[in-house]
Amino acid sequence: METILVTGGAGFIGSVLVRHIINYTDFSVVNVDKLTYAGNEKTLADIESNPRYSFECADVCDAAEIQRILKKYQPFLVMHLAAESHVDRSIHGPDDFIKTNIIGTYTLLEESRAYWSSLPLEARQKFRFHHVSTDEVYGDLPHPQNSAESVNLPKFKETTPYAPSSPYSASKASSDHLVRAWYRTYGLPVVVTNCSNNYGPYQHQEKLIPLVISRALGNKPIPIYGTGNQIRDWLYVEDHADALLSVIKDGEIGRSYNIGGKNEATNLELVQKICVLLDNLQPQKTPYADQITFVTDRPGHDQRYAIDPSRIINELNWKPSVTLDEGLRKTVLWYLENKDWWKALQDREGVGSRLGKI
């Protein structure tokens, strides 16, 4: 009972989490990933030969495969990160989001419940199901009219009512409700975490920060939706992985924890910061900001996300350690030094094209 099963471990956050578990704990990890367009097993090349790491290519919707994997590896903890996660793709085609995020979570819950029920008492008491979710389930928040007003505006708490806006966030809200229902009805020992926008190395290019970097370096227009005044709370992915380990260690069964970076910025401010970093680190004849182009906003675009992480800070003694400026510099440097990794993904489905139009 010293193995952690991570679903979606070949994705962005999942791969960082898997590496954290291998590097900072004594646990073994089995990585279960379907290897869709967003998954890349090469992301974990540095640990693939570690005797504590195993990989299983499987779909979380495949009950027989999940049952086999649980029986084979006997984990004490299931960490569920596998999900379709791009809002634009969910607008473009919601089917995969319903299947993976809702049906996949249901399948994993049921197989985990059957596995947990079959364990001896001591092992059953140790078992946990950790569901990793998003702050987007809460909908959006009031947008400040000025910087002074932003100090007093509300943030997402664990008690904030759910009000998802997109097919993606609605599917994640559905999965959160399923996890809590399996705790309340069946007693399955669960914890839920909801995080703010992650960024850092190894992120897929359809996401804002790597998209900006790749477009800038390719001398292409850098698209910004609407006026770029949408506000996000940015969380460096290594900080997120560290928070998840804190929840593994001390999280209370049946409890939810919001994980945020305490780094609010508008999309325009964020893109401008990246352009300045590129100007300094890889200068060209003209400022990269000259490539910024404003495009038609996407449907149902949430205006502001902001997390109140007081619960995890006070109860689990975790706090974000990386400021936005520090994290962006680390991220830009990584993409400059690892062009082979992200350029190899540019031919994948949907990369470089506008999705999410109605």
Starting at the edge strand that comes first in sequence, how are the strands of the sheet with 3-7 ordered? 53-57, 28-33, 3-7, 77-80, 128-134, 190-195, 256-259
332's tokens: 């830009």
Distance CA 139, CA 142 (A): 10
Q: Is 186 a catalytic residue?
A: no
Tell me how far CA of residue 7 lies from CA of 17, 31, 78, 80, in angstroms.
11, 6, 8, 5
Tell me how far CA of residue 144 lies from CA of 135, 147, 192, in angstroms.
19, 7, 29
Catalytic annotation, pick one of 135, 206, 239, 242: 135
150, containing H or E segment: helix 147-150
Catalytic annotation, pick one of 59, 65, 136, 238: 136
Tell me how far CA of residue 132 lies from CA of 88, 224, 251, 254, 325, in angstroms.
20, 28, 13, 13, 26
DSSP lists the bridge partners of residue 57 as 33
Distance CA 231, CA 269 (A): 9
* Contact present, 222 and 271 (Cβ < 8 Å): yes
Catalytic annotation, pick one of 106, 138, 168, 236: 168
Write the DSSP string, 62-108: -HHHHHHHHHHH--SEEEE------HHHHHH--HHHIIIIIIHHHHH
Distance CA 308, CA 177 (A): 21
Pairs from 66-73 (Cβ < 8 Å, separation ≥ 24): 66/32, 66/107, 66/108, 66/111, 67/111, 67/114, 67/115, 69/5, 69/30, 69/32, 70/5, 70/111, 70/112, 70/115, 71/115, 73/3, 73/5, 73/28, 73/30
- Residue with the two structure tokens 């197989």: 111
Q: Is 135 a catalytic residue?
A: yes
Residues tagged active-site: 135-136, 168
